[in-house]
Structure 1
Amino acid sequence: MEEQNYSPSTPQTKKRRNPIAWVPSVYFGMGLPYVALSIVSVLMFTDLGVGKEDVTFWTSLLVLPWSLKPLFSLCMELFGAKRQYVFLTEAITALMFGLVCFALPLPSFFSIALAFMGVLAISGSMHDIAGDGLYMQELSSSEQGVYAGWQGAFYNLAKILTNGGLVYLAGYLSKGIGLEKAWMVIMAICAGLMLALSLYHMWVLPKETAKERRSVKESWAEMVEVVRTFFVKKHIWLYLVFIFLYRLGEGLAMKIAPIFLKDPVMKGGVGLSNEDYGLIYGTAGTIAFILGSILSGYYIAKFGLKKTLFSLVCIFNIPFAVYLLLALFQPQNLWWVATGIVFEYFSYGFGFVGITLFMMQQIAPGKYQMAHYAFANSLMNLSVMVPGMISGKLATQLGYEGFFILVLVVTIPAIVLSLRLPFAHSPETKEVA
């Protein structure tokens, strides 16, 4: 069927709202729930006395819906409009945050809060699909480039606010009203922010043009073809092993690192307060991540991904040694702790660009480029989720020192593989499979 009618740059009879009115807020709305579920919930449940094995397992499982995006997107294409999905999922997310807030004082708060967070995770994943879809549908290719920076900036602003500012506020409030009520306030703030976004987006999001709906049979047939063509790509199985190994160390470390940083020195941790954690890990660390990501882009642009891949894998993985050093020496000087964390986060941001571009340039190219990139990204998320689920048990059995040694050991296969990894596509050419 021939594509027709509308491109974002086509003059419209109705005045088109400037994308700056909604792009930053939509991506802020993507970042807040994900960071709250994947990182901040770890701190909240730990503060409220839940053991690290339960915390790491269940909060890792909560990110599963972000790996199921291809299935969700199929259903969303058949029913409803992207605009409606954005503000409705934000409203559902706000409701779930509010219910988590009221669940915290209950005797079985952990299981009840997890149930609400499960709904929140599905809602957040669907919000991401709708937000990305609206962005690609409403903006021309040139506009997408212009506003790409706003995407990243406001997603990371949500991360700074949630893992930095709100965690700091939780620590500050806990001194006056106790940890339980402090975290209730934080969940209520998250609910209020998401509700405000929902109401704002009901008014500001662009109205979508009518489009021809495909039948369930047609959509399913296309989904099957997308999956089939993905798994017959050249070197695809080797590439999937590589992207899994690339983030394996991160998958183990990301749930334990916040717990380790906050655990008392007598338990082998560093003993950071929520305020110190919010400032160092949540705020300064995230800023370092952004800076590393920006500089990495220039580095790869100058030398090319193939020449830089080995260095990027090393830069991404080896700095996890910072946590091993912190576990060995347990410094009480905040400057030493902050320097180590900022260095690790900078390296994390610098190296993360490598795996993103690898998927874009080596896995995605072909007829279904966008779908294959989303598919690869979803599979890659499993390399963080699965290790995260067992990280608490491993940390309990090995202790922090042994655990972070293990983290460094599991990074070795990705580093070795990057030396001999074949490239199916030249970055200079765009192939259509």
Structure 2
Amino acid sequence: MQKERNPWQWLPTLYFVEGLPYTIVMTVAVIMYKNLNISNAEIALYTSWLYLPWVIKPIWSPVVDVVRTKKWWIYMMQLVIGGAFAAVAFTLPMDNFFQYSLAAFWIVALTSATNDIATDGFYMIGLRDDQQAFFVGIRSTFYRLAMWVGQGGIVYLTGHFYKTYQNYTTIWSTTFLVLGACMAGFSLLHKFILPNTETLRSEKEQQRGLKEVAIIISQICIIGLGGFLINKFMNIDTTWTYLVLGILVIIYTYFDLKKKAKTQPQILNSPILTFFNKKGIKLSISFILLYRLGEAQLVKIATPFLLDDREVGGIGLTNEDFGILYGTIGLACLVIGGILGGIAIYRKGLKFWVLPMVLSINLPNLGYWLLASFTPEGLLFPGIVIAIEQFFYGFGFTALMMYMLYISQGENKTAHYAVCTGLMAFGMMVPGMPSGYIQEFLGYSNFFLWVVISGIPAIGFCLKLKIDPKFGLNQK
């Protein structure tokens, strides 16, 4: 029997590697494309699509649970991520680099979401209950460290090297080659240092898991091939076709399940479907989807705005400036806000804080409207706005996380929370897609005013929520 391995030997790197690809895909890719002169509309639309694997990851999470082991999924996914990062590096010097690099980022997003499933599952089986409680803060710390390395350190270094080489294509290509090598190194490391705590599932269970994989892949192929053929037949070039087809597949699946449930009622007892039978679930889903409606649009345009030249209405930050203000100071404020938000709910309960936190996540966005209206010179005022917005975003986001825990209570709470995180990601993906077009139509100043107005629906739904006053409150 293998000797129990100290979690300090493997847990820090495991959660660092969980956070790094997500940060690269969601934040660093936006900065890179802006440096390479891609329009705001295209950046917002296509990078928002990269949220999709995190939206649908609850669908294939059971597959990761029954096919092979979590350890196998972890080091294999990290190896594929490394190869995809290298693919980004090789595509950037090409003429059609935008399309090819997006395809590589899609592979990163899909494998990163799968790595998240395996990593969180391994955390639960690789640690005792007392160790899980002790290391919950440690894993969060190293995840945040990965965020700093991505949107702080890496972005700063690209700006630093730009002063010398004056070629962002070469700089970003080299950066992704290094990232690819690092991910391959982490994959090899985790293959050897992760403890062997699992046994393979039975062949019958694995066959069932492979069958589910086949069903998922077939549905994705239908959407992909159908969208391609429709676009070709109608001589159009848009990704909205795939979104519409995806929605139609979901609707068909829903009605197909309802039809089968008449003769096989046990189908409705699956962990995921029981979530949609909860009392008041429509209101809860609406609240989760709309909670970050404004933030979903802001996060895609704030970066281009801060990096854009002052002549076109931007602030004119360099990558170095951005790495310090947003990637370092902003991230620190985000973490502090999140900690204080947790303490606030612990003392007064979620019901007391939910409305103030909805307001805190939206009203500070007025700072970006002021920046766009007056375009102040220097780093002081942009730094203040970033710090305030990120602090209150961290503070206000706590309410959403706690509310998802609240409605996930009861039997199948793990599966129900996974559904909530998928809905949360969907609420970020869809509003982010048209945000670039909205900004180009309205201009920066009016766009940021629109972002603030977009927070109103969440406030309306917040007032209708029924929350136990004792939930989240210190019970001692």
- Return the TM-score normalized by structure 1: 0.92
Query: 1:358: how far off?
Result: 0.7
Distance 1:223 1:80 in 2: 27
The 1:223–1:69 alpha-carbon spacing in structure 2 relative to 1, beyond 3 Å, is farther
**1:197 aligns to 2:212 (yes or no):** no
Match of 1:264 in 2: 309
The 1:425–1:205 alpha-carbon spacing in structure 2 relative to 1, beyond 3 Å, is farther
Match of 2:240 in 1: none
Match of 1:391 in 2: 435
Query: 1:76: how far off?
Result: 1.7
Distance 1:130 1:428 in 2: 28
Query: 1:246: how far off?
Result: 0.7
Query: 1:423: how far off?
Result: 2.0
Amino acid paired to 1:283: T
Match of 1:333 in 2: 378
Match of 1:142 in 2: 130
Once the two structures are superposed, the pairs formed by residues 95-174 of structure 1 within 5 Å of their partners are: 95-174=83-162
Q: Is the 8 A contact 2:352 2:469 kept in 1?
A: no
Amino acid paired to 1:25: T
Distance 1:223 1:263 in 2: 51
Match of 2:243 in 1: none
SS at match of 1:234: coil
Match of 1:208 in 2: 197
How many aligned residue pairs are there?
416
Q: Is the 8 A contact 1:171 1:182 kept in 2?
A: no
Query: 1:192: how far off?
Result: 2.4
Which residue of 381, 388, 395 maps to 1:343?
A: 388
The 1:332–1:197 alpha-carbon spacing in structure 2 relative to 1, beyond 3 Å, is same
Unaligned runs of 5+ in 1: 1-12
Which residue of 340, 365, 368 maps to 2:412?
A: 368
Query: 1:119: how far off?
Result: 1.0
Q: Deviations over 1:186-242 (max 9, x none)?
A: 212221221221111011111023254463669978896112210011111100100
**1:89 aligns to 2:77 (yes or no):** yes
Q: Deviations over 1:286-309 (max 9, x none)?
A: 111111111111111000111111
Distance 1:329 1:136 in 2: 50
Which residue of 316, 326, 330 maps to 1:285?
A: 330
Distance 2:173 2:435 in 1: 27
Distance 2:368 2:177 in 1: 32
Distance 1:211 1:201 in 2: 18
Distance 1:405 1:141 in 2: 47
Amino acid paired to 1:89: M
Distance 2:273 2:42 in 1: 37
Amino acid paired to 1:414: A
Distance 2:208 2:152 in 1: 46
Query: 1:100: how far off?
Result: 0.6
Match of 1:7 in 2: none
Match of 1:4 in 2: none
Match of 2:50 in 1: 62
SS at match of 1:62: helix
Match of 2:339 in 1: 294
**1:315 aligns to 2:323 (yes or no):** no
Distance 1:424 1:233 in 2: 15
Amino acid paired to 1:151: R
Q: Which moved more, 1:410-419 or 1:106-115?
A: 410-419
Query: 1:184: how far off?
Result: 1.1
SS at match of 2:270: helix
Q: Deviations over 1:409-433 (max 9, x none)?
A: 110121232233112695279xxxx
Distance 1:382 1:223 in 2: 23
Amino acid paired to 1:342: A
Distance 2:208 2:104 in 1: 33
Query: 1:320: how far off?
Result: 1.1
Amino acid paired to 2:49: L
Amino acid paired to 1:118: W
Q: Is the 8 A contact 1:264 1:270 kept in 2?
A: yes
Match of 1:3 in 2: none
Distance 2:295 2:363 in 1: 11
Q: Which moved more, 1:348-357 or 1:175-184?
A: 175-184
The 1:256–1:272 alpha-carbon spacing in structure 2 relative to 1, beyond 3 Å, is same
Distance 1:421 1:154 in 2: 34
Which residue of 236, 252, 256 maps to 2:281?
A: 236
SS at match of 1:290: helix
**1:427 aligns to 2:471 (yes or no):** yes
**1:357 aligns to 2:402 (yes or no):** yes
Distance 1:234 1:21 in 2: 44
Match of 1:184 in 2: 173
Match of 1:28 in 2: 16
The 1:127–1:242 alpha-carbon spacing in structure 2 relative to 1, beyond 3 Å, is same
Amino acid paired to 1:371: A
Match of 1:38 in 2: 26
Distance 2:200 2:191 in 1: 20
SS at match of 1:133: helix
Match of 1:9 in 2: none
SS at match of 2:110: helix
Q: Is the 8 A contact 2:337 2:393 kept in 1?
A: yes
Amino acid paired to 1:121: A
Q: Is the 8 A contact 1:320 1:407 kept in 2?
A: yes
Q: Deviations over 1:256-281 (max 9, x none)?
A: 00000001111111110110001101
Distance 2:9 2:25 in 1: 27
Distance 2:51 2:354 in 1: 27
Query: 1:101: how far off?
Result: 0.5
Q: Which moved more, 1:66-75 or 1:377-386?
A: 66-75
Distance 2:269 2:96 in 1: 42
Distance 2:181 2:381 in 1: 36
SS at match of 1:253: helix
Query: 1:26: how far off?
Result: 1.1
Amino acid paired to 1:287: A
SS at match of 1:420: coil
Query: 1:333: how far off?
Result: 2.4
